[in-house]
Amino acid sequence: MTQTTYAVRLTNVVKRYGNATVLDGIDLTVAHGEFVCILGRSGTGKSTLLNLIGGLDEPTSGTIELLGRNLSELDETRRASLRAHKLGFVFQFFNLIPTLTARENVELPLALNRVAQGSARQRAQALLDGLGVGGCASRFPDDMSGGEQQRVAIARALVHRPALVLADEPTGNLDIDTGSDVLALLRDSCRSADATLIMATHSSEARALADRVLGINQSAVSEQSR
């Protein structure tokens, strides 16, 4: 894979759904290891931008380069492989599989990457311990609090050591205090793993933690003060 000085670069990216323009002429570069926070109200295109960066959706026009690869040059199989090996995702609604324990949820990305079961279990447990939810390893999501579930979701996003983590409203379902703790934990975990973090949120608390803050308004992205 081509080495670059950036993790993500968007050039003149446009995204339309029918006659509605969600993103219009987006130019954006995110450096390796950077924490970028994207602020905006619901419906402004934050999730759409993350989906484009993660190769889950395709732009109407423009170029998206992810970790040195032009996504438009990859078929879906190659995009899926890139996501499985190099990307981690954290969602507002946790998206844990309810019939799997916390540790089994965390082990999933390692299974997809064909890591031996014993090594996967050890790595998952160590990460759960580091995130303060080691005691939840054998519990199912419905038996955990929202904060515990989100910590497990963070462990799942980081366990395969991704180069880039995309977080979509990761504290949207948490109370203020728990949300603040999870934000700091996610930032610190990505920093210690040297992973780039791009977070879409409407929470102003993320502003103080990020290296750079962007705002989305009227289909455009602009730099904001921290």
Judge whether 20 lies within some domain. Answer: no
Looking at residue 112, its amino acid is: L
> Domain total for the chain?
1
40: containing domain:
34-47+81-224
Beta bridge partners of 88: 165
pLDDT digits (tens, 9 = 90+) for 94-130: 999 999 999 999 999 998 888 899 999 999 999 999 9
**Domain-located, residue 125:** yes
Report if residue 5 sits inside a domain. no
Q: Residue 219's domain is classified under what CATH number?
A: 3.40.50.300
pLDDT of residue 208: 87
Residue 73 is encoded by which pair of tokens?
Answer: 């040059």
- CA 137, CA 147: separation in Å to the nearest integer? 14
Cα(5)–Cα(79) distance, integer angstroms:
21
- Residue 195, pLDDT above cutoff 90: yes
Q: What does each C-alpha distance from 42 to 12, 17, 180, 202, 208 come to in angstroms?
A: 23, 17, 20, 7, 20
Q: Is residue 17 part of a domain?
A: no
**DSSP E strand stretches across 41-157:** 61-66, 69-70, 87-91
11 by Cβ neighbours in 10 Å (0-12 / 13-18 / 19+) ranks as middle
pLDDT value, residue 3: 58
Domain-located, residue 166: yes
Which pLDDT score, from 0 to 100, does residue 80 have? 92
pLDDT above 90: percentage of residues in the chain = 77
Residue 19 domain flag: no
pLDDT single digits (tens) 125-163? 999 999 999 999 999 999 999 999 999 999 999 999 999
Cβ proximity of 106 and 156 under 8 Å: yes
- For residue 147, being part of any structural domain is answered with yes
> Taking the model in full, what pTM does it have?
0.93
